[in-house]
Every structure is written in structure tokens, then in C-alpha cells.
Structure 1
Amino acid sequence: MGIVVALVYICALVCFIPFPFRAAFVVDPVTSSINPEYAPHRQLAVYLAAVLSIFIATILGLLDDLFDIRWRHKLPIPLVASVPLLLVYYAEQGNTHVVLPHPLDKWFGTFVNLGPLYYLYMALLSTFTTNSINILAGINGVEVAQAIVISVSIIINDLLYLPWPFSIQFGPIKLYGFFGKALAQERHLFSLYFMMPLLAVCLGFAYHNKYPARVFPGDTLCYFTGMTFAVVAILGHFSKTLALFFIPQAFNFILSSPQLFGLVPCPRHRVPTLRPDGKLDPSVAEIENPSTVTILCLQILRALGLAHVKFSARKRSARTTNLTLINFILTKTGPIKEAALTRWVIAIQIMCSMFGFLVRYGFAGLLYNGDRR
């Protein structure tokens, strides 16, 4: 059903085009006809490239659902979907400079131009956001829940850049409108164009995907939501902020890396196993004749408490819980119901988003000057 959600979302984006670009339909008072000079060509090109990237990601996700592509082949797939995004960023002479924090600006200056490396970074970001949601999956409601929490976080971040005519007080914290550069407001308004309909379709899907699920997202939902997050972060110029909202996904990716890159054998599916009483246990991987590198990885994981690992006599075989955040939670909580496990993941996602805001608008002020917006 992920393809249905994606198509509804893309149709909503297409139908929305006339509203933010209504300036293109202004009639010239002299000629009494539409003057193409009034058309916001640059903004329209960026918008259409973003929609195209999301559409390509949707098609690739559908192909993954149909043909069950292996992990080693699906990891670089989002690079294809990011091509229109990167080309339009280059065509509009997008900024490739980064601001350095205080300890480094004394030696290298306030800004550093990364040039082509910045485009490589953007391509890798789209790959990460797309695959990281797909990796943290396998139980009812968890994929769409991630998309909902992240989209809400981005919407809140976008609202901080709009010129509100009022302020909001939360105890000692006072939120007020942003009256800085119009370009920053335009970028975050652009982000809202994509995030608000994404939140709407995800909420509708979540109602049917919650435990016990009646519909399932497949890889398509993960691909198009992940690419949407990459699109708004890159074109909205807040990719570092987006990374803070992906802390659970980053942890899950790092934890999964030994299996994803072949250091530890990886089964086709790593979802938890169902017990007769309806609770879930962490799934395990059986390893025969582990290599020295595999043994070392497993010993490090066991020492850090990231997995339950058991070796046979003389370490001729090993048994480890699969390396995912979901299985890691089960090793700490013990057997729990699937709905409770999903709530654990949602709680972690929300807490990490709150921590991300604290870092972005609190701790970052220790390293950078000025209003953090």
C-alpha cells in the first residue's frame, strides 16, 4: 500500500503547483495578457525537480517491492533519484560553503567552500535518509511512525523561520517570529509545501498500519518519505538540522553496519521472532566457523552491550542477536508485545528530536555566532 500513499502525495503536490506560483498568472496591464517575465521560473524549476526526485524514488521503491532487491544492490539506488535534485541545485548556483565552528575558524576562516565534495555529501544524504528508514522496519506501524515524527519535527523547525505576528511563551522559553532574511523564509516555506501533505498522508496510512495492521507500507513508503526529507533539507539548506532528527536511524545504521557490510553474516530478514504468548523475542543469527574479524566484531558488540552473543567451545560457532535497534530494544526490555515495541521506537524518535532541537538552538550557540536561525 506504500505505492498508494506515494501516488496520493505526489498528486497533491502536483495539484498544489498553481497556488505558490500564482504570480505566473498575473495579467500585464499593458498587453492584457499573461507576461512570462512575472513567472517565478527558478522556484518552479526547483519545485518540479523535487517532485521528480520523489517520483523516481517511488518507482524505485515499487521495483524493490516487486523484485525483492538485495541489500548490497539497493543501497545505491537513491543516488539515481537524487540526480534531478543535484542538477537543479547546480543550475541555480547553489551554495557549497559551510560555516566552521569557533575552534576552526581561526585557522581556516569562517567559511570553507567544499565544491564537488558538497554534491557528494548531498548524494550520500539522500542515500542515507532513504535507506535508514527502510532498515529500521519490520513491525507494524514503525516505518510510518518514523516519518510522522520526523515530518512534525521539520514542520516545527520551519515554523521557527516564519514571521509570526505574535509570540508563544513556554515557561522561561519564548518563541517569536523570524524577521530575518527573506531567502530563509522562502526556503522554509518551500519545505512546508512538502512536509504538510506528507504528514497528512502518513497520518491517514498510520491509522490502518497500526497494530494489528490491515495494510503494509512495503519499501515504497520508506523510499519516497526518505527522499522527501532529503529534498527539503537540501533545497531548504538545513541538512545538518535534518541529521539531528535522524539520530535513531543513524544509531541503527551504525549498529547494523557489521551485517550490512558482511563482517557478520546477515540473514535475509532480521525482524523479531513471535513467541506462543504473542510477545516478541530478538531474532538471532547463527554463525558457523566465524572468521577472526567476525569474532572481534562480536566481542566488541558484546562488551558494549549492543547484542547478546554466545560462542561455542573454541569459538567454532557463534550465535548473536541481529544488529538492529528493534532487536537491541528487546535485549534490554525482554519479551514485549509488538504494539509496545512500536511505542518504544516512537518514544526514542521523539526524545531524539527534542534533543536535536536542544542541540540546534541551544548548544550550537556555543560554537557559532548570532541567531541560530
Structure 2
Amino acid sequence: MLIAFLIASILSFLTTYLSVKWLIKYLRKVGMVVPDMNKKDKPLIPISGGLAVMSGIFIGLMFFIFLQTFFYKDNSFSLILFGAITTIVLITFIGFVDDALIERNSSSSSGLKQWQKPLLVLPAAIPLVVINAAITKINLPWGNVDLGIIYPLLIIPIGVVGAANMVNNLAGFNGLETGMGIIYTLSLGIYAYSHGSVFAALIAFLTFAALIAFFIFNKYPAKILPGDSLTYLLGAIIAVIAILGNMEKTAIIISIPFIIEFFLK
């Protein structure tokens, strides 16, 4: 299992690295660029780097499923992982739509309206809902509570929508979103693996590897901006890890900086 984790993570890194190099050229070619407010001369920089990170996670996850299915003869978990990656892909493309609107109107305030974002993000939770990809028992101070069908029908959609929009609020400096993502995906991955949550750990480590590759191009002076496609993706990652790994309390702790930022704004 560890070897499969390692190979899939390396593949996630390489796929993201190569995808970013291609994406920078392509986005410049099609004119999907915005001013980088972190630089004195405000040069036009490609936006929506989350597409590259998503591609790295996708390829890494597909390779892991391939190894488990054909070499380890175990595909019992494939449905859960396919549900997770479908949610991640959908939410990334919703963020891409927001990025495209921002670029088209040349203003960060001209993307999706605040009331539109939760509505458009909501369908991305459907794959996790329909496969009931969660342990419905949650640990509370007074004991365990089994939420039953309430968890997939209510908690999962709220978690995905809330996390996506939460991460989207804390952005601005070159490398900020990516750097924070590197820290909390590694932390979540280690915690999940040490507590036996294999699926959650896998997604965390694949995302960590992809973010390391993206950070090479996103650190100051950035050659590409993450855009909402990445912030939405990172929010979805937190939600997916919490849901698959029964790590709701850990996810809340990770989310404290975003919650503080929300109230400060």
C-alpha cells in the first residue's frame, strides 16, 4: 500500500508540473490573464491554475485504482474514490467558470455573485451523497451519535459548499493559497494515515504532491495564479477528507484561519 501511495504521489507531482508548464502557455495564448496586484508593474498573469492541480490528483488517483485493481486484485473501494474525484473535478470546473468570468470582465468582483456560488457548488456534492461516502457516526463530547440518512442528505452538501466558499475567502498573495494548502493537506494526510483512514490519506497526499509542483510556479514572483478553480478545489479536498476519514473535528481545526478571515472581512 505504501508503495502504491508513493508512486501515485510522484505521478501526481509530475502530472501537475507538466500541466502547469503547458497551461501557462495555453492561457496566455487564449488571453485568460489578469493583472497580478502583488507586483509593482501589475503584469498580466495566467489565471486558473487549479486545473493543473486537479489533473495531477486525477491521474494519481486513477493510477492508484489501476494498481489496486490489477496488481493487488482489490477494487472494493473504487466506488468511493470515483465519487470523491467526481466531486473534485466538478467543483474545479465551477471555479474555472468563475475565473473565466473574472478574466472576461477584467475585475475580481465581476465573477459569480456571492449568492450564485453556493448554488453552483451544491451539485458537486451529489456524487458523495448518492454513494453515501461517509461514516454516519460522529463523535460528540457526550458520546457517539449516528445521524443516519441525515449525514449524506444534509451534512455532506453543507460541508462541501461551506468548505469550498470558505477557502475561497482567504486568498490574495502569491503562493498564499498554495502554501497553506501544502501545510494542511500534509497534516491531514499524516493524521488520516495514522488513524487508518486510507482513502482520506490517499487524497490528502496526492493533493500535497500536486501543490508542491504548483507552488514552484505560484510562489513570488508568480508565473500563474491559482484562481477560484484552486481555492474551490482545496475547499472540496478538506470536505472530502473529513467525510471519507470521519475527521470532521480535525477539519474544523484546520479551518480556523479561514473562519477568522471570514469574520475579519
Q: State whether structure 2 residue 121 is matched by structure 1 residue 78.
A: yes
Which of 95, 100, 109 is the aligned partner of 2:140?
100
**Quick check: 2:168–2:228 contact (8 Å CA) kept in 1?**
yes
Corresponding residue of 2:51: 3
For 2:137 and 2:159, locate their aligned partners in 1 and report how far apart those are by CA, in whole Å.
16
Matches within 5 A, 1:185-264: 185=196, 188-255=197-264
Q: CA deviation at 1:44?
A: 1.1
Question: Runs of 5+ in structure 2 lacking a partner?
Answer: 1-48, 102-110
Q: Give 1:85 deviation, angstroms.
A: 0.6
Structure 2 counterpart of 1:122, from 156, 168, 174: 156
The aligned residue for residue 111 of structure 1 is 144
Alpha-carbon displacement from aligned partner over 1:32-88 (angstroms, at most 9, x marks no partner): xxxxxxx544x1111111111111111111111112212221133322111101111
* Cα-to-partner distance string for 1:302-348 (whole Å, 9 max, x where unaligned): xxxxxxxxxxxxxxxxxxxxx2xxxxxxxxxxxxxxxxxxxxxxxxx
Post-superposition Cα deviations, 1:161-194, rounded to whole Å, max 9, x if no partner, equal 2xxxxxxxxxxxxxxxxxxxxxxx2xx2212221
In 2, distance between residues paired with 1:201 and 1:99? 31
Aligned to 1:65: 99
TM-score by length of 1: 0.52
Q: Which of structures 1 and 2 has the bigger CA Rg?
A: 1
2:53 maps to a residue whose letter is V
Q: CA deviation at 1:139?
A: 1.6
Maintained 8 Å contact 2:54/2:233: yes
The separation in 1 between residues aligned to 2:205 and 2:224, in whole angstroms, is 22
The verdict on how the C-alpha distance between 1:142 and 1:17 changes in structure 2, with shifts beyond 3 A counting, is same
- CA drift at 1:24: 7.0
Distance, in Å, in 1 between the alignment partners of 2:150 and 2:204 is: 27
Aligned to 2:175: 141
Cα 1:242–1:20 change in 2 (3 A) is farther
1: distance between equivalents of 2:260 and 2:209? 27
Runs of 4+ in 1 over 2 A off after TM superposition: 20-25, 75-78, 94-100, 110-119, 158-161
- 1:199 partner amino acid: F
What whole-Å deviation, never above 9, does each CA across 1:269-296 have from its counterpart, x for those lacking one? Answer: xxxxxxxxxxxxxxxxxxxxxxxxxxxx
Q: What residue is the counterpart of 1:371 in the other structure?
A: none
Aligned partners of 2:192 and 2:245 also within 8 Å: no
Any residues of structure 2 matched to 1:275-354 within 5 Å, and which? 323=265
Take 2:139 and 2:238, find their aligned partners in 1: how far apart are those partners? 22
Aligned equivalent of 1:20, options 57, 64, 68: 68
* Aligned-residue offset at 1:220: 0.5
Corresponding residue of 1:176: none
User: Any conservation in 2 of the 1:89–1:235 contact (CA below 8 Å)?
Assistant: no
Separation (CA, whole Å) in 1 of partners of 2:94 and 2:171 = 18
Change (3 A) 1:45 1:210: same
5+ residue gaps, structure 1, are: 26-38, 162-184, 256-322, 324-373
Percent identical among aligned pairs is: 29
Match of 1:56 among 78, 90, 93: 90
Deviations 1:240-292 (A, max 9, x none): 1111111101111233xxxxxxxxxxxxxxxxxxxxxxxxxxxxxxxxxxxxx
**What amino acid maps onto 1:242 in structure 2?**
A
Aligned to 2:8: none
What's 1:164 paired with? none
Distance 1:207 1:221 in 2: 15
> How far 1:116 moved relative to its partner?
4.3
Query: What letter corresponds to residue 67 of structure 2 in structure 1?
Result: F
CA pair 98-47 structure 1, distance change in 2 beyond 3 A: same
| Residue 88, structure 1, aligned to residue 131, structure 2 | yes
Distance 1:16 1:100, change over 3 A: closer
Go from structure 1 to structure 2 and tell me whether the alpha carbon gap of 1:9 and 1:159 turns closer, same or farther (over 3 Å shift).
Answer: closer
Q: Does the 8 Å CA contact 1:130/1:223 hold for their aligned counterparts?
A: yes
| Paired position in structure 2 for 1:277 | none
CA distance in 1, matches of 2:158, 2:230: 19
Name the SS of the counterpart of 1:20 in structure 2.
Answer: helix
- The answer (yes or no) to whether the contact 1:53–1:84 under 8 Å persists in 2 is yes
Distance 1:97 1:12 in 2: 30
Letter of the structure 2 residue corresponding to residue 60 of structure 1: I
Matched with 1:46 is 80
User: Against the structure 1 CA distance between its residues 24 and 160, is the aligned structure 2 distance closer, same or farther, given a 3 Å change threshold?
Assistant: closer
